[in-house]
Amino acid sequence: MMNLRRLISGAGMRCMGLALLGAMLVGCKKDDEPTLSLGPGAIMLETAGESGTLRFTATNTIRISVINIPDGWEITADLGSMTLTAKAPADLDAAGVDRSGTATVIAYSAESSATAKLFVSVTRRAELDDSLANCMVVTTPETYYSFDAMTRGEAGGALDTYDVRVIWQTSEDLIRYGAFESGRYSFYIGSDDDGGITEGNALIGAYGAGDELLWSWHVWVVDADDVQEETYANGRTFMSLNLGALGNANGTTEQVLHSYGMFYQWGRRTPFAGPATYDAAKAEDAMLYNGYGVESSLEYVASTAETGTVAYAEAHPMTFVLGTEESAYDWCYSSRSDNLWGASKTEHDPCPKGWRVPTQEELSGLDIVDRSADAAMQYGWTLTDGTVQSFYPAAGFRTYLTGKVQNLYNPVSGVEVPMPWMGYYWSSGTEAAQAVALTFWYDASDPMQSGIHTASPYHRANGMQIRCVRE
């Protein structure tokens, strides 16, 4: 038995020794391997024949080359100055010439190599300064956008911005080739397979030198044809879709989900994404990604003296602050304010420039067009004020208790079915410790019993939709 133990022990020591030796060899090999980083990874040009440069960083590199160069382009790499230079085709309309494309940059050491992708494009440029607000609408594909990242939202005010990053986005590469330079943040929005804009939502943050979040901007990427205006009988002009929605159709479950838009706690300007599925049956959140394409998740914390403040909410835009009995089920714990949103636009208003959250009076004239319609597969109601008819999706709400999207049809019979038959839309109005919302529902057992309340009080920690109105 003793000999067997010694044999096992000796074998174990030899294995450990080999493992350590292997780790040392791997470590040495990794230290000698080249690294290559192209920063934003793109050279954006404005005209044919124009040249541009991009600095890169490389280690353990003795040679660098560029292959798979798009047709008509000239791309060179200089290891000494660590710069890439791209020259666009002189004639962009010539046959076999690429307006945009991706090249491969290779850094070589004595025994191995590292690669990175370089995107080059002659593209449109657009400045968003005239539409700078807490939410900026982007509608043109294949465009390099930029905005002043040293200024707060529409209310103005200087920022000591050190860096700008994507906090979250609804697809892995919605915001592409982001770069912060000379006080401006630039990013590229591409196109889908049909040439239309790649739609989605993103939150972009300005950070200080200590990596603290100073401000954030919601970028709403949507097809221009979907953002229409509708003038109601009261003379107020509303958007034709929800804030952050990617359309306002309900022909398919995907269209239903895209029509929901973003969810907002009353008085907060930063949005929360909706459910992963149109019926919110499992209360799962839609997937979010950071600027590197890594999956990110919302956080949920209870309102306390520390977490239930405007300052905390501003610094934690991915944190849904739950209402508690102590906070009167508001995300604000004790410093409640009725002026975070109002009849005049505030610095906390989440709508794009020229738009704001509607007042309860501006929503008061709406009613369901036809309760007898078969709405079981509509997932919302067409509402009217006697002049305009507009579809309002029934997206449910993020409940103040858990933060999860809830959309339960609960008729008198007590049967609970997770279907998108309940709609909740914030107004800027308040009532005591609560805020006022437009709400409607579909009664599957008796559609004629379906109803609408244009001014119902709800706890402010709930997350609901917004239909913006012109200022």
Predicted confidence (pLDDT) per residue in 427-456, tens digit: 999 999 999 999 998 887 778 888 999 999
pLDDT value for 130 = 94
Is the domain defined by 35-122 classed in CATH 2.60.40.10? Answer: yes
Domain at 124-224: CATH code: 2.60.40
- When the pLDDT of each residue in the chain is averaged and rounded to a whole number, the result is 90
State pTM to two decimals.
0.89
| Torsion from C-alpha of 451, 262, 427, 314, nearest 10 degrees | 150
Least confident of 10-14, 357-361, 364-368, 441-445: 10-14
Tell me what the mean pLDDT of segment 382-409 comes to: 91
Task: Specify the domain boundaries for CATH 2.60.40.10 within the chain.
Answer: 35-122
Q: What percent of the chain has pLDDT over 90?
A: 81
pLDDT value for 374 = 65
Residues 6+ apart with CB under 8 A from 131: 137, 352, 353
Span between the terminal Cα atoms of the chain, in Å: 88
Q: What percent of the chain has pLDDT over 70?
A: 90
Interatomic CA distance for residues 342 and 360, integer angstroms: 10
